[in-house]
Structure 1
């Protein structure tokens, strides 16, 4: 993390098909993973657009806001995800999970996919702003 100066970054976790799944299912999962990674890490995609913001411009308390995309997570993982993770003081980072599945992404048009990604990220940033406001408000009341 020390080499990276970006305050916003992306992580993609893709759930693989079960080993006993039929080949069609395995191929679909592989294709969906490839397709989604292209939206995040492909040329002129999301991760590139986020690189313009440096953590040094925002103080020293937060180094990284990590958008964690979970592609087709299993139910147990999906249920365990929080709207926003707790701030990790030692690493100075906070994770914001976003679930990607057939209903909200893969069954949509190109325009709808881009709109979903944009809206999801903006919604997470709103949640982050609210958490920061609550934390700084409670900090100010105790001092």
Structure 2
């Protein structure tokens, strides 16, 4: 892994309770595995976005971490922020994204990639608020355009 990647990905899969029916547990595991393939698989988004390097956009971000939460419990969902606080010492920020049946699993493969691309680019607008508020030097317009460009080039 290159330490200069401005983007990173993290996936957390919430599995059904152990006392749920076996088919419900199996579905949760299959959905988790399926989603991970869209992020870390052969055609995964993670590989595509890791081509963008942090030193091309300013000095205030080493990593912008897209945090995907697959089928979070309602209590987990309530506690997720739209965007986390900027961590000055780490020069990092986390951006939570909820993945569920409504926005991902009920869609076609093409719609899934479109959802992921549009969501990642759309989250850049939330990041703009943090950059303005904290007076960070990140060239977000360039970052957003470059992100959009590489995602469109790799549109499945």
Cα deviation per residue 1:24-59 (whole Å; 9 max; x = unaligned)? 011000100000000000012100001111122233
SS of equivalent to 2:135? helix
TM-score, length basis structure 2: 0.82
**Which stretches in structure 1 are left out of the alignment for 5+ residues?**
138-143
CA distance in 1, matches of 2:118, 2:43: 18
Consecutive aligned runs of 4 or more in structure 1 exceeding 4 Å deviation: none
Q: CA deviation at 1:96?
A: 0.3
- TM-score, normalised by the number of residues in structure 1: 0.89
State the SS of the aligned residue for 1:13.
strand
**CA positional deviation for 1:72:** 0.2
RMSD over equivalenced CA pairs, Å:
1.6
Work out the CA distance in 2 between the residues paired with 1:76 and 1:110: 29
Mapped partners of 2:48, 2:128: distance in 1: 20
Question: Which structure has the larger Rg over C-alpha atoms?
Answer: 1
**Structure 1 segment 1-143 matched on structure 2, within 5 A:** 4-136=3-135
